Amino acid sequence: MKIAVVGVTGMVGQIMLRVLQERGFDKHEILAVASERSVGKEVQFAGKSLKVIGLETALAAKPELALFSAGGDTSLEWAPKFAERGCYVIDNSSAWRMAEGVPLVVPEINADELSAEKHIIANPNCSTIQMVMVLAPLHRKYDIKRVVVSTYQSITGTGVKAVQQLENEKNGRKGEMAYPYPIHENALPHCDVFTENGYTKEEWKLVRETHKILDPKIAVTATAVRIPVKGGHSESVNLEFNQEYQLSDLKRLLADTPGVQLQDNIDVNQYPMPKYAEGKDEVFVGRIRRDLSLVNSLNLWIVADNLRKGAATNAVQIAQKLIEKGILKA
């Protein structure tokens, strides 16, 4: 099988290569694809050097699978071209997430949305993925009425430019700014651009994508904040259920959920942190406690590596599901 990794020189593209190797895709032919300015450069995969090619060359090679992480404009233009040639496109941008007929997939939750007829598949937003991984089993059992989420998001979600800004500020150097303010020793309540109603696009992604993946009846409100960490995104989540719950049963349910790891023992200061989530594929949940101000409500803390489960790993897991279902022939 030929697999194109589009945006291969970016942060997510590099992690995609790593996850593909970890999950046994190194037996396939990997096409390293990026913008014209990167054509001819080399990237490393499974001990080999791959020469970067452009999108036209990749399209002519007729890959069976393409993992896109090159931005919304590139995905809008090129994903349909690959799909028209029979390629299955898993897109990590926001371009196709809310498009009618395009599956928005977290494999542990809604892999049944995948079908042979749907050649463009959307990877949800990183913050959405980790939240719905925890919400999905709780919603099935207790029927979530309302979600209030505040995010504490890694600068890696913005990209290399943001990482460089933080490093420059830590070391007292002047340099290009990814954000309108310093990020070192700061917190910016500003992820993505503001919309007319005062919310950012990142905040609306949490609302709309949760509705599409889980249930449009769940009321969701969000505040997204950027903080100076690299390891992953953190989320403070408050849930209101329509059903009663026992805390011990709820914790057991989360502990038994594939892809979710319970870290919830305050006696030994055990709780999720982005520093220790970095490089891991699990979604970590802890600080689980009743909200004492409202009946049938709950507080919890969710952390995950936004470049892995929040992006690259989820995309590769979708590819694995396509193979399991016989949609892709590996």
Same domain, 168 and 118: no
Q: How many C-beta atoms lie closer than 10 Å to residue 292's C-beta?
A: 8
Please confirm, yes or no, whether 126 is among the known catalytic residues: yes
State the pTM of this model: 0.96
What is the identity of the amino acid at 139?
A: H
Q: What is the pLDDT of residue 330?
A: 82
Same domain, 191 and 136: yes
Q: What is the pLDDT of residue 264?
A: 98
What is the identity of the amino acid at 264?
A: D
Answer whether residue 171 is part of any domain. Answer: yes
Answer whether residue 239 is part of any domain. Answer: yes
* Domain CATH number, residue 254: 3.30.360.10
Answer whether residue 185 is part of any domain. Answer: yes
Answer whether residue 329 is part of any domain. Answer: no
Q: What is the pLDDT of residue 110?
A: 98
* Domain CATH number, residue 52: 3.40.50.720
Q: What residues pair up with 241 in beta bridges, in sequence order?
A: 144
Provide the angle, in degrees to the nearest 10, between the axes of the packed helices 313-324 and 11-22. 40
Same domain, 220 and 118: no
Same domain, 273 and 319: no
Same domain, 260 and 239: yes
Q: Which of 252, 317, 250, 251 is nearest to 282 (CA)?
A: 317
Q: What is the pLDDT of residue 307?
A: 98
Same domain, 62 and 91: yes
Same domain, 40 and 120: yes
Q: What is the pLDDT of residue 102?
A: 98
DSSP 124-144: PPHHHHHHHHHHHHHHHHH-E
Name the catalytic one among 119, 126, 139, 191.
Answer: 126
Same domain, 262 and 142: yes
Please confirm, yes or no, whether 191 is among the known catalytic residues: no
Dist CA 72 CA 264 (whole Å):
37
Q: What is the pLDDT of residue 154?
A: 98
Same domain, 197 and 275: yes
Same domain, 139 and 92: no
Domain tally, the chain: 2
Q: Which of 125, 106, 127, 155 is nearest to 237 (CA)?
A: 127
Mean pLDDT by 10 residues, the chain (330 residues): 97 97 96 95 96 97 97 96 98 97 98 97 98 98 98 96 97 96 98 97 98 98 98 98 98 98 98 98 98 98 98 98 95
Q: What is the pLDDT of residue 196?
A: 97
Answer whether residue 330 is part of any domain. Answer: no
Same domain, 272 and 202: yes
Answer whether residue 23 is part of any domain. Answer: yes
Answer whether residue 8 is part of any domain. Answer: yes
Same domain, 107 and 151: no
Answer whether residue 282 is part of any domain. Answer: yes
Domain housing 106: 2-124+311-324
